[in-house]
Amino acid sequence: MQTIRHAAVAGAFYPGDSRMLAGHVQALLRAAPADAAPVIPKAIVVPHAGYVYSGQTAAKVYAGLMPARNTIKRVVLLGPAHRVYVRGLALPDADSFATPLGMVELDKQAMARLRGLRQVVVSAAAHDQEHSLEVQLPFLQSVLDDFRLVPLVVGDASPAEVAEVLDVLWGGEETLIVVSSDLSHYLSYAQARQADQLAVDKILKLQDTLTHQQACGGMVVNGLIFAAREHHLEPRLVDMCNSGDTAGDKDRVVGYASFLFTERTGRA
């Protein structure tokens, strides 16, 4: 019998009706500016707030994946634990994830390759109510044709521990790494702009020293940066804003940014 992780935040973070959700995601993707010279990334960093707040920032990266919709067959999706303490990285106890747009099958063979790593555990509780992974799925379902998912909730883990997991799953052009993270939380608009610029600068300089205050998924992003240095990837900022720019007031805002990580050009 197949075990399904059902959607937990449909109707809250994004529309719960399948037709409304499909239309909303397509509208966000259509509004994203086209890259004149699209390069398919190895990894992306995208925010995970409600779509009204950060959907446009995420869509600007996701729209660029459309040329690879038939190439990408595996998505390694990592996001921070918000509700349950996790030591290391947690796989789900499930066979598929469900959203209003349908089912996403998990890559059980790839997941099995992680079971021997001491920092990887299996925890249904870590995934049951976690939104940082779930909000990415409707975008992925909309821009990719046929892919399997390796979902990991990341808690207390070092950059090297996260990078070791990514190394096992790295693969080739068929594998995309998606890291889910927001930036600062509940600062004033001006404070957030300053703090988020510092965090963005760290990412662009491949410094794996982000704190939880700088990015709620800082541990995950640090791990990607660690791996990016080893695999000679270079980051590019695609978009940066905060909730004061989109759908909130400017007294207490949450910061968002999206990035592409691509193979470094001109490397000897």
**How many domains does the structure of the chain reveal?**
1
Is 46 within 8 Å of 138 (Cβ atoms)?
Answer: no
pTM for this entry: 0.97
Report residue 268's pLDDT band, with 50, 70 and 90 as the boundaries.
very low
Residue 12 sits in a domain of what CATH number?
3.40.830.10
11 found inside a domain: yes
- 206 burial level (CB within 10 Å; 0-12, 13-18, 19+): middle
Distance CA 132, CA 8 (A): 11
Residue 149 above 80 pLDDT? yes
What is the domain extent for residue 62? 4-263
Residue 16 above 60 pLDDT? yes
268 found inside a domain: no
Residue 263 above 60 pLDDT? yes
Is 95 within 8 Å of 108 (Cβ atoms)?
Answer: yes
144 found inside a domain: yes
33 found inside a domain: yes
Report residue 35's pLDDT band, with 50, 70 and 90 as the boundaries.
confident
Residues in the chain: 268
